[in-house]
Amino acid sequence: MPEVFDAIAPDTLTILIDTISKDSSGRMVKSGTSNLAASVPCTYEPMPLNLGKHRQQGDRKTSVQQYLVSFPSHTSAGSRINLDPKTHRLVVAARGNEPVKNFRIVAVNDQQGTMFECICEREN
């Protein structure tokens, strides 16, 4: 499947892991990110029948669109990618005039261990 995606997918993504710990007062701290996997071939498209929406969050209006981001469940080296929607983020690399795109994972759909179809949100 990675080879198939390599052939058909024009984009690549990096899977970021948030480093989460607890400070001395008991509060959660996000202290950085690391890469779970990089240069993973992927495709992304707006979710069908999802027209996007405005939400009032953090006292301000935010525009949100849901996307379907698809990529193989194994790296080209054969390592299994284990996704955690709570702590992982997807960053699609820039390509030509296309800028970097950040996707927040809402849910992970595992297609029989061959590929992921992640429901993600892209803001503003």
Partner 1 sequence: MSALSEKVGIALYAALNVSGVTSKATGGVWRGQPSDSAALPYVVVTRQAPGETVRTFGQMLIMEDDLWLIKSVADEDAHSAFLSTGAHNEAVLAACLAAHGTSLTLSGGSVTWLVERVADIPTYNENFADRVIVHDGYLLRIVAAP
Applying CB under 8 A, which residues contact partner 1? 18, 23, 25, 27-31, 55, 57-64, 85-86, 89, 104-106, 121, 123-124
Comparison of 45 and 59: residue with beta carbon closer to partner 1: 59
Comparison of 18 and 117: residue with beta carbon closer to partner 1: 18
Which tokens go with 68? Answer: 């379907």
Comparison of 5 and 44: residue with beta carbon closer to partner 1: 44
Please say whether the beta carbons of 11 and 92 come within 8 A.
Answer: yes
Shortest spacing between CB 26 and partner 1, in angstroms: 9
Shortest spacing between CB 88 and partner 1, in angstroms: 8
Comparison of 3 and 84: residue with beta carbon closer to partner 1: 84
Shortest spacing between CB 82 and partner 1, in angstroms: 16
Please say whether the beta carbons of 65 and 122 come within 8 A.
Answer: yes
Please say whether the beta carbons of 37 and 75 come within 8 A.
Answer: yes
Using DSSP's 3-state secondary structure scheme, residue 35 falls into strand
CA separation for the pair 89, 101 (Å, rounded): 11
Q: Among 124, 122, 99, which Cα is nearest to 46's? A: 122
Shortest spacing between CB 21 and partner 1, in angstroms: 9
8-state DSSP, 79: P
